């Protein structure tokens, strides 16, 4: 552990469904923890556990070197950082402000510039894994900021995250989170489409859900194909070509069969049609005409 960081207090502002479990794992931080939340019932357990409780964001910044923020939206983040009682009122040079709320990447860049004018480091550091991941210390956190700021936050973040990624400059953490959540919620929409097909076929859709969760836990789900460092077309002599071609062939076959079932049952499957049309291209190996043209 970097003793310079470990012996500095860390701060946590916002102790809700995500912030509370994250901050709880910092109670034993060697340099001490100072927390802030508008609700006394949220701060009381931390006070009882030995953490300091601040009345405002600027009071947190008076002592903490690394300050995490988990509030609702862009407006609240701006107020916590730059408002009349905000962190920048008291933060000294070298303080690192970390925003875990999912905000606009433009807001992150603007706040980063505002902090820099006072010699304060800013990182946008959204998380993935939900409250259960926070409670287990098993979140993924995507850090957008300087290399210096990343080094400063790596150890305290490691108390509540078991994957800490340096995504790039300020704004990059948010952009990575938005890409990750695009996959998340498109997948939810696809899950709803799959349930409609299964229901129309007279199947138990709760049993289908069990199968999906079981098999995704084994295979890794959609993340299992996210292994290349580019989305460009794959050359036939590339290591990945036979792997992605195999995935495409299986996918196009199964999507075609699902669409055929949907046609017979009178169930429209628009996402499946898009997937059949774009799967091979997305994988970088093009469409297999033998299986990919039946329902485009």
**Is residue 53 helix, strand or coil?**
strand
24 catalytic? Reply is: no
Pick the catalytic residue from 24, 58, 136, 177: 177
pLDDT of the chain, 296 residues: tens digit per residue: 454 566 799 999 999 999 999 999 999 999 999 999 999 999 999 999 999 999 999 999 999 999 999 999 999 999 999 999 999 999 999 999 999 999 999 999 999 999 999 999 999 999 999 999 999 999 999 999 999 999 999 999 999 999 999 999 999 999 999 999 999 999 999 999 999 999 999 999 999 999 999 999 999 999 999 999 999 999 999 999 999 999 999 999 999 999 999 999 999 999 999 999 999 999 999 988 655 444 33
Identify the domain boundary among 141, 169, 197: 169
CA distance readout (Å), 201 to 195, 196, 204, 213, 273 = 10, 9, 9, 20, 18
Query: Residue 91: what pLDDT?
Result: 97
What is the model's pLDDT at position 288?
A: 81
Q: CATH number for the domain including 184?
A: 1.10.1040.10
Domain end, chosen from 111, 144, 169, is at: 169
Together in a domain, 220 and 256: yes
- By residue range, what is the domain housing residue 208? 176-292
Nearest CA among 203, 185, 183 for reference residue 194: 203
239 and 274 assigned to the same domain: yes
Q: What is the pLDDT of residue 7?
A: 76
C-alpha to C-alpha distance for 206 and 84, rounded to whole angstroms: 51
For residues 152 and 192, state if they share a domain.
no
Per-residue pLDDT tens over the stretch 104-143? 999 999 999 999 999 999 999 999 999 999 999 999 999 9
Burial of residue 261 (number of CB atoms within 10 Å: 0-12, 13-18, 19+)? middle
Separation in Å, CA 55 to CA 29, 52, 264: 21, 10, 64
**42-83 per-position pLDDT tens digit:** 999 999 999 999 999 999 999 999 999 999 999 999 999 999
Same structural domain, 204 and 92: no
Same domain, 134 and 280: no
What letter does residue 263 receive in the DSSP assignment?
H
Q: Residue 66: which CATH number?
A: 3.40.50.720
CA distance 260 to 267: 10
pTM, entire model: 0.90
């Amino acid at each position: 552990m970097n003793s310079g960081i470990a012996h500095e207090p860390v701060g946590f502002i916002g102790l809700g469904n995500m912030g509370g479990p994250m901050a709880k794992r910092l109670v034993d931080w060697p340099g001490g923890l100072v927390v802030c939340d508008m609700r006394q019932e949220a701060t009381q357990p931390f006070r009882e556990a030995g953490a300091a409780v601040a009345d405002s964001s600027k009071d947190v910044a008076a002592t903490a070197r690394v300050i995490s923020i988990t509030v609702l939206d862009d407006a609240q983040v701006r107020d916590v950082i730059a408002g009349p009682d905000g962190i920048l009122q008291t933060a000294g040079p070298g303080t690192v402000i970390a925003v875990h709320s999912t905000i606009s990447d433009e807001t992150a860049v603007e706040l980063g510039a505002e902090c820099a004018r006072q010699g304060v480091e800013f990182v946008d550091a959204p998380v993935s894994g939900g409250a259960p991941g926070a409670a287990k210390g098993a979140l993924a956190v995507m850090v957008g900021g300087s290399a210096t700021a990343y080094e400063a936050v790596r150890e305290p973040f490691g108390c509540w995250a078991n994957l800490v990624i340096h995504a790039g400059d300020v704004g990059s953490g948010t952009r990575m989170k938005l890409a990750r959540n695009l996959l998340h919620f498109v997948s939810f929409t696809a899950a709803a489409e799959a349930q409609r097909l299964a229901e129309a076929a007279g199947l138990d859709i709760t049993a289908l859900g069990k199968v999906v969760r079981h098999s995704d836990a084994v295979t890794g789900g959609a993340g299992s194909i996210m292994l290349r460092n580019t989305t460009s077309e794959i050359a036939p002599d590339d290591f990945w070509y036979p792997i992605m071609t195999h995935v495409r062939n299986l996918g196009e076959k199964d999507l075609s069969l699902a669409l055929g079932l949907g046609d017979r049952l009178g169930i429209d499957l628009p996402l499946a049609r898009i997937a059949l049309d774009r799967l091979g291209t997305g994988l970088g190996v093009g469409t297999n005409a033998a299986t990919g043209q039946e329902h485009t």
